[in-house]
Amino acid sequence: MSTGIVPGFDLGAEIILCKPTLTSYIRKTCSELPLDHCIVYSTTDNREARMKSILSVNAGSSSVKINFYTFENPPRSIADAEISGITAPPPIFKYQQGDKKHKEQVDEKLGTPQEAFNYLLKRCFETAELSEITSVDDLQYICHRIVHGGDYREAVEINDETYHHLESFEDLAPLHNFSALEIVRHCRTELPKVKSITFFDSAFHHTIPEPVRTYAINQEVAKANGLRKYGFHGISYSFILRSVAQFLKKPAEKTNLIVMHIGSGASICAIKDGQSIDTSMGLTPLAGLPGATRSGDIDPSLVFHYTNEARKLSPASTKEMHISTAEEILNKKSGWKALTGTTDFSEIAVPNPPTKAHKLAFDIFVDRILGYIGNYYLKLNGQIDGVVFSGGIGEKSALLRKTLVDKCHCLGLGLDDAANDKGPGDGETVKDLSQGSGKGPRVLVCQTNEQVCLRS
Ligand SMILES: Nc1ncnc2c1ncn2[C@@H]1O[C@H](COP(=O)(O)OP(=O)(O)O)[C@@H](O)[C@H]1O
Ligand SMILES: CC(=O)OP(=O)(O)O
Ligand SMILES: [Mg+2]
């Protein structure tokens, strides 16, 4: 923390309490000093003097992750918690605050992200160990990760207009947006005093040029229905860009990268001068690379040959969420699950795969990723600062990184095997895995964070 001296006051504390008559003088003086954190409260204002917090929510189809931050610039992380296994019970509850870690199996049925969110809030407020967060009254903002933001280029505050607009394209990412909007709906009704801000995965990709984002279909139909490439995982990509640029000591707007966000949903992005110029996901998060339960790219005609039920509504649909049988199969019943029976890539990325199907799944992933690296290397004119691995698989699978980097030898990429085997340490956001310290593109791993509620 930076500290400083306002004449007569030693600013060694994050929160300064002072007489009401002095608050405006100290606030003004603080704003003129290069201080990182400084919040000034009047001693008469006890409620205000409590540190307010920001709650950040990342609702997925099978997990809900929340983080608490202090309401200051930059926000400081207080604690995080998550419920996983919503679709594969029993649910697991975890939290972490500094060195304190806790994990338990939940006996209650938490079948929806909204139930999981309620449970998380209740537990976090009740847990004595999480003393910095005590009630919803402490919350200043709730920041929601929304995967599909349509044409929104920036985060927006939820009001009637923005909320109804988001509802209008809820069906474009039914598995992601529905869960997130359920929680937004809940916050609007149950916590009306706390402002909700929505951050979009798609916003980072608004810079993708027209020929790249346009599908070769009738443009009247395309425009009327918003049918174009949007791209996702953008909250993660902007975190990675900021972190890697800082690590390389380059301005973000001069940084060129090929970044993989490969977790249970997987995508890859070409970043030129700090802007996304292409990414593998498209109109929905189904396009591009295969994932835990997603097919990734297929010939669209396959849909009509797979089952003649394709167009019918899937039994998984509800009154609020509509999903066709084809969407259900390609999003939820494909990928690693369909090929091998497991969604856990750590069972697939092993030196001696247990079955031929596991080996095939690994080889398919390598093949598809290589195709994109080659494509993006050309689009970036060979001028790359580095190739970055992130997401659960990218951060943890030394074998996948090694296999891919060895195949990219012709692009000047090389791996330090010991650094790769070790991987990034706890709290190490970016790690260089490149061979030698010479010039040329770096091979990096970045432990990404999709809950950081900062504008890019
Ligand atoms: N050691 C490992 N090797 C390969 N894959 C791993 C390893 N550990 C975790 N994973 C994979 O990471 C994925 C989860 O990625 P993550 O980005 O954390 O989650 P999500 O995409 O659900 O947000 C899971 O599919 C899991 O199999
Ligand atoms: C966009 C997307 O696929 O998100 P996730 O990886 O969280 O499923
Ligand atoms: Mg994810």
pLDDT of residue 17: 41
pLDDT of residue 291: 95
Q: Quick check: 257 and 268 in contact, CB under 8 A?
A: no
- The residues with which 431 forms a beta bridge, in sequence order, are 445
| Burial class of residue 313 in the structure, from the number of CB atoms within 10 Å of its CB (0-12 exposed, 13-18 middle, 19+ buried) | middle
pLDDT of residue 42: 40
Q: What is the mean pLDDT of each run of 10 residues along the chain (456 residues)?
A: 29 39 52 42 42 87 86 85 84 90 92 89 84 79 95 94 92 82 91 93 98 98 96 97 97 98 95 98 97 96 87 78 86 95 95 98 98 98 98 97 97 96 95 86 95 58
**Is the C-beta atom of 346 inside 6 A of ligand 1?**
yes
Cα–Cα distance between 241 and 253 in angstroms, integer?
Answer: 9
Catalytic status, residue 201: yes
pLDDT of residue 276: 98
pLDDT of residue 130: 74
pLDDT of residue 28: 54
Query: Tell me, what DSSP letter sits at residue 252?
Result: G
Ligand 1: residue whose CA is nearest its atom 7 = 346
Atom of ligand 1 nearest to the CA of 344: 27
Ligand 2: residue whose CA is nearest its atom 6 = 265
Q: Where does 380-416 have alpha helices with state H?
A: 391-396, 398-407
* Residue type (1 letter), 74: P
pLDDT of residue 6: 30
Print the SS3 string covering 298-361.
CCCCHHHHHCCCCCCECCCCCCCCCCEHHHHHHHHCCHHHHHHCCCCHHHCCCCCCCCHHHHHH
- The residues with which 66 forms a beta bridge, in sequence order, are 57, 81
- Quote the ligand 3 centre to 381 CA distance (angstroms): 29
pLDDT of residue 29: 54
- Quote the ligand 3 centre to 448 CA distance (angstroms): 10
- Quote the ligand 3 centre to 199 CA distance (angstroms): 15
Q: CA triplet 290, 294, 298: central angle to 5 degrees?
A: 65
pLDDT of residue 406: 97
Structure tokens at 172: 């474009």
Cα–Cα distance between 268 and 258 in angstroms, integer?
Answer: 7
pLDDT of residue 315: 79
pTM: predicted TM-score of the whole model, two decimal places? 0.86
Q: Quick check: 423 and 414 in contact, CB under 8 A?
A: no
Cα–Cα distance between 39 and 30 in angstroms, integer?
Answer: 9
Ligand 2: residue whose CA is nearest its atom 8 = 265
